[in-house]
């Protein structure tokens, strides 16, 4: 019978079969296995063991990968929050809160931290909430100056482009640029603006309006309530500036015409509140509905240092922020998109312009509380979101040290002096002016002024010269500046200007993972780019729509009639104005829109063009 052969043997080549047969014959003759066979069988054994181990390891790896993948898939399907780290960002529904600390530079933070530690008896490692969230720094130059104003600074945030000082979301060629708020609104997000200055001031204006000059606040008000080429883009408004919404036939109005924007806003569906009682009716935001217009002061809401004594009149920045967050969150609860909210600590800037350190530390503390409130909201809210904050510029050239005498300066500053103040220099000046208008005798003026200094600023040792500077009605330096200098000197706080400075400012974020592209030093336009990118918005498409609306016109009178200005625009500006009349008059030839100025000689005074020839500080107030 034929000998059975293993299957493997049948697959061998004829040469291999011949070798194997020789080995088998040797084994039959000698009765011993050949060494060659032993070697082949030993190698095969270990080969089989190796293949088994490799297969086992590969199987285990596949199982581990499958388990991890299934876990990650389940976690995402469970709508858990995910951080936006390098290589990724949140998808789907999300919220964005952008906070602006107008006029707050790094030194403001140091001064406020020292002040808080001193007044509250805190250790040196007890710092501000803001201190824990510093992410990077921002370069603030505009297209027309190394020292920006709030209009150009906010345009960089809202549009992502540089523009000239005074421009409200308008490019140097006098054409409108789309804003992140407008793009968010048209993409289905709810939007809001919360400020402590006029809602028509530069920063909020840049997110929801377009004009060639920041002074055109009547037109800004009209666009904010929906008289805008894109229709209404703001759902929630809280702040001051009521006077720009009231007809000029009404007490408290500052409009140039008789348009009643409050009534028009109501006709457009806005709920309107104008005082503390109205704000309290929101019940912290649980009773609010959109669209909402809240105007709580004729002009600016008082400094926090003064507001606290009028708490029954004005809401704080923190209170407004909390209410706005709750209202917007509820309004988007069942929608596919979240919300965009801009919150501004506006009057940090005004305190810098006034060189008032007592007012400023309290404004920064109020902003710090609002920042903490937003962080708390993000922590508790189920929708992914990010908070990004920065300043448009620094104001005042603040220094927490001051040389008072020609002798070698002392290495100190005294926060306790600021702690003695119960009111701002602005408040004290208004009280003094009202009293002096009664034309009292000189001795009575002196006695009143000394008493006012003690009660408002906590200063008990004024010099005769300081008293004379305050009561002298012919003094070219306004009383508010004198009051501020009196307290600044005693605290040994220094200021280099009543205007802005070109120092870099801090960038803050709720999480470095959520806002990692803003780590390090950036142009302010990169902050604007981040805002649009985070929400996946196409700003360019909005700009195109606005520029296609070149013949859209507001129902109000032109800005030139409103301002009474006598401009002499260039030929190119005249051509541009024919297309974009709704932006107001273009600037005159003597206003720079691109390129920096140069040196003109020591102390040469050059007027800053404003409305109707009025010299402007670039802060929205006349000085």
- Which residues are catalytic, by number? 150
Distance from C-alpha of 143 to C-alpha of 591, rounded to nearest angstrom: 12
Q: What SS3 class is residue 460?
A: coil
Could you give the C-alpha distances from 236 to 224, 226, 289, 460, 615, in angstroms and in order?
Answer: 10, 12, 9, 45, 33
Instruction: Report long-range pairs for 436-442 (Cβ below 8 Å, ≥24 apart).
Output: 436/471, 436/473, 442/471
Q: Are strands 385-390 and 505-509 parallel, antiparallel or unpaired?
A: antiparallel
Q: Are strands 505-509 and 134-139 parallel, antiparallel or unpaired?
A: antiparallel
Distance from C-alpha of 372 to C-alpha of 540, rounded to nearest angstrom: 33
Q: What SS3 class is residue 170?
A: strand
* Longest pairwise C-alpha distance within the chain: 145
Number of Cβ within a 10 Å radius of residue 481: 20
Distance from C-alpha of 100 to C-alpha of 344, rounded to nearest angstrom: 5
Gyration radius of the chain's alpha carbons: 35
- Residue 374: in which H helix or E strand, if any? helix 357-380
Distance from C-alpha of 373 to C-alpha of 365, rounded to nearest angstrom: 12
- Residue 341: in which H helix or E strand, if any? strand 339-344
Distance from C-alpha of 611 to C-alpha of 212, rounded to nearest angstrom: 12
**Could you tell me which of 300, 273, 301, 297 has the C-alpha nearest to residue 285?**
273
């Amino acid at each position: 019978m034929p000998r059975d052969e293993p299957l493997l043997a049948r697959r061998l080549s004829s040469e291999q079969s011949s070798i194997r047969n020789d080995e088998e014959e040797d084994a039959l003759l000698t009765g011993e296995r050949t060494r060659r066979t032993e070697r082949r069988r030993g190698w095969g054994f270990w080969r089989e063991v190796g293949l088994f181990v490799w297969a086992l390891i590969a199987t285990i790896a596949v199982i581990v990968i499958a388990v991890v993948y299934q876990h990650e898939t389940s976690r995402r399907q469970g709508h858990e929050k995910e951080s936006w780290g390098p290589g990724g960002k949140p998808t789907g529904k999300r919220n964005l809160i952008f906070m602006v600390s107008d006029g707050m530079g790094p030194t403001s933070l140091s001064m406020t931290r020292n002040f808080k530690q001193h007044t509250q008896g805190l250790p040196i490692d007890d710092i501000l909430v803001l201190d824990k969230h510093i992410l990077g720094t921002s370069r603030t130059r505009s297209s027309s100056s190394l020292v920006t104003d709030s209009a150009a600074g906010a345009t960089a945030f809202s549009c992502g482009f540089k523009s000239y000082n005074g421009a409200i979301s308008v490019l140097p060629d006098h054409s409108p640029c789309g804003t992140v708020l407008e793009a968010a609104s048209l993409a289905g997000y709810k939007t809001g603006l919360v400020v402590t200055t006029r809602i028509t001031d530069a920063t909020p204006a840049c997110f929801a309006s377009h004009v060639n000059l920041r002074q055109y606040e009547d037109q800004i008000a009209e666009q904010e309530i929906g008289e805008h080429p894109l229709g209404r883009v703001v759902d929630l408004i809280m702040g001051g500036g009521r006077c720009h919404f009231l007809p000029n036939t009404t007490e408290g109005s500052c409009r140039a015409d008789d348009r009643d924007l409050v009534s028009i806003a109501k006709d457009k569906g806005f709920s309107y509140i104008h005082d503390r009682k109205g704000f309290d009716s929101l019940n912290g935001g649980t009773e609010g509905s959109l669209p909402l217009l809240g105007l709580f002061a004729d002009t600016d809401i008082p400094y926090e240092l003064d507001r606290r004594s009028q708490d029954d009149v004005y809401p704080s920045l923190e209170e407004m922020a909390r209410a706005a967050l709750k209202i917007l969150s509820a309004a988007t609860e069942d929608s596919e998109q979240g919300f965009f909210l801009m919150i501004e600590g506006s009057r940090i800037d005004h305190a810098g312009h006034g060189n008032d350190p007592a007012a400023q530390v309290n404004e920064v503390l109020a902003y710090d509380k609002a920042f903490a409130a937003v962080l708390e909201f993000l922590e508790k809210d189920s929708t992914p979101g990010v908070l990004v904050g920065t300043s448009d510029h620094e104001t005042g050239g603040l220094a927490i040290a001051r040389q008072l005498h020609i002798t070698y300066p002392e290495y100190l500053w005294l926060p306790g002096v600021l702690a003695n103040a119960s009111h701002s220099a602005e408040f004290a000046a208004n009280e003094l002016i009202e009293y002096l208008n009664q034309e009292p005798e000189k001795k009575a003026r002196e006695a009143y002024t000394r008493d006012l200094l003690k009660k408002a600023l906590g200063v008990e040792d004024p010099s005769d010269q300081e008293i004379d500077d305050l009561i002298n009605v012919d003094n070219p330096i306004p009383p508010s500046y004198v009051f501020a200098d009196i307290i600044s000197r005693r605290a040994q706080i220094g200021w280099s200007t009543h205007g802005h400075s070109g120092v870099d400012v801090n960038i803050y974020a709720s999480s470095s993972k959520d806002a990692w592209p803003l780590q390090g030093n950036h142009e302010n336009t990169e902050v604007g780019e981040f805002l649009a990118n985070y929400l996946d918005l196409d700003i360019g498409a909005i700009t195109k729509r606005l520029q296609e609306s070149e013949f859209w016109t507001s129902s109000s009178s032109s800005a030139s009639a409103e301002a009474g200005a006598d401009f002499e625009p260039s030929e190119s500006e005249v051509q541009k104005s024919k297309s974009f009349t709704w932006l107001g008059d273009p600037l005159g030839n003597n206003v720079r829109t691109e390129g920096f100025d140069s040196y003109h000689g020591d102390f040469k005074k050059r007027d800053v063009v404003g409305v109707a020839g009025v010299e402007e500080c670039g802060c929205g107030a006349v000085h």
